[in-house]
Amino acid sequence: MNIWRRLFYKKRKFYDDDFDWDNYTSDSYQRRLEGDVETNYRAVSEAGQLRFDKASGTVISEGTPIHPNQQLILEVIGRLGPASVHEVGCGGGDHIANVARLYPQVRVSGGDRGDTQLELARERHPELVGKLGLQDITMPFSHHWPGAELVYSQAVVMHIHTAVSHFVALSNMVRQASKYVLLMENHQCHNFVADLQLLFENGHLAWDTLHIHRFDGSTGARAALLSKTALDLPVLKSDVQLREGLDPSYRRLRRADEDSARAIAGFRRP
Ligand SMILES: C[S@@+](CC[C@H](N)C(=O)[O-])C[C@H]1O[C@@H](n2cnc3c(N)ncnc32)[C@H](O)[C@@H]1O
């Protein structure tokens, strides 16, 4: 193999996820927050700026709107009413901070694989100190991770493409959650429904039952919501249903298929 191919090969081996997470804050996160999210939406809400309207099941924001993904996360929590919520890959902490502000009765926690991300979260939200911790969701499950009724990720698993890491992440999230897992992700980046079905059917999930639903936020975002019990929501049997109406990205869909194909499972129950 010539030197260029060898260098490129090594790079791909080590950075198969979308980002080099160790440089992520300086690379792009802060830039994305300030340049994208914060120019159009309010990323951090103060007490009183958000309200959950029980009758409509929607979140109402005073003044500047909040990002549709954040709107969806807050609406899921408002409707399901979990006692505790954990965010995987919490980054700068804005989502989980807003959860804590809108639902002060909910016990919150957040984990991220990046120390610099957690530092940024503590800077932006001093009230989260003591509730955040270092967590790589693709590591073997840790009993130190805080359990929660609802565990969610937003723009995290979609970026994980190294080996079978996203399968590990999904399995860990289910194990960490006692009732619900919410995947607020780009649903073209993995075959989430098929991969979860494979994990469940082959005994890789800690739950005895698995219901996969589609949840639509009131301002256009959509997510997969996993639950131990059936919810009064559309049931997802395939990724096609979850991707309905989206412009297909053939590059993403091909990579999703490649990631799915790495799964080795099938040991029969004795
Ligand atoms: C695109 S950012 C999203 C951050 C935050 N959820 C948000 O929406 O603002 C992705 C985050 O996932 C974290 N992350 C990536 N891989 C992870 C892993 N294996 N375990 C935990 N966090 C991870 C990164 O450090 C980064 O903070």
> Which of 156, 161, 190 to mutate for ligand 1's pocket (most ligand atoms within 8 Å of CB)?
156
pLDDT in tens, 104-150: 999 999 999 999 999 999 999 999 999 999 999 999 999 999 999 99
Instruction: Say yes or no: CB of residue 25 within 6 Å of ligand 1.
Output: no
- pLDDT per position as a tens digit, 151-185: 999 999 999 999 999 999 999 999 999 999 999 99
Ligand 1 atom nearest to 21, measured from its CA:
25
Cβ of 110 less than 6 Å from ligand 1: no
pLDDT in tens, 192-211: 999 999 999 999 999 999 99
C-alpha span between 252 and 254 (Å, rounded): 5
pLDDT tens-digit readout, 21-70: 777 766 666 667 766 677 789 999 998 999 999 999 999 999 999 999 99
| Cα 153 to averaged position of ligand 1 atoms, centre (Å) | 8
Measuring from atom 25 of ligand 1, which residue has the nearest CA? 114
Query: Looking at the predicted structure, is the pLDDT value of residue 11 above 60?
Result: no
Please state which of the four CATH numbers 1.10.340.30, 3.40.50.11740, 3.30.390.50, 3.40.50.150 is assigned to the domain occupying 32-261. Answer: 3.40.50.150
- Of 113, 118, 134, the residue with max ligand 1 atoms within 8 A of its CB, to mutate for a pocket test, comes to 113
Q: How far is CA 262 from the centre of its chain?
A: 21
CA atoms within 13 A on the CB side of 40: 6
Percent of the chain with pLDDT over 70: 90
Amino acid in position 112: D
Q: Are 72 and 136 in contact (CB under 8 A)?
A: no
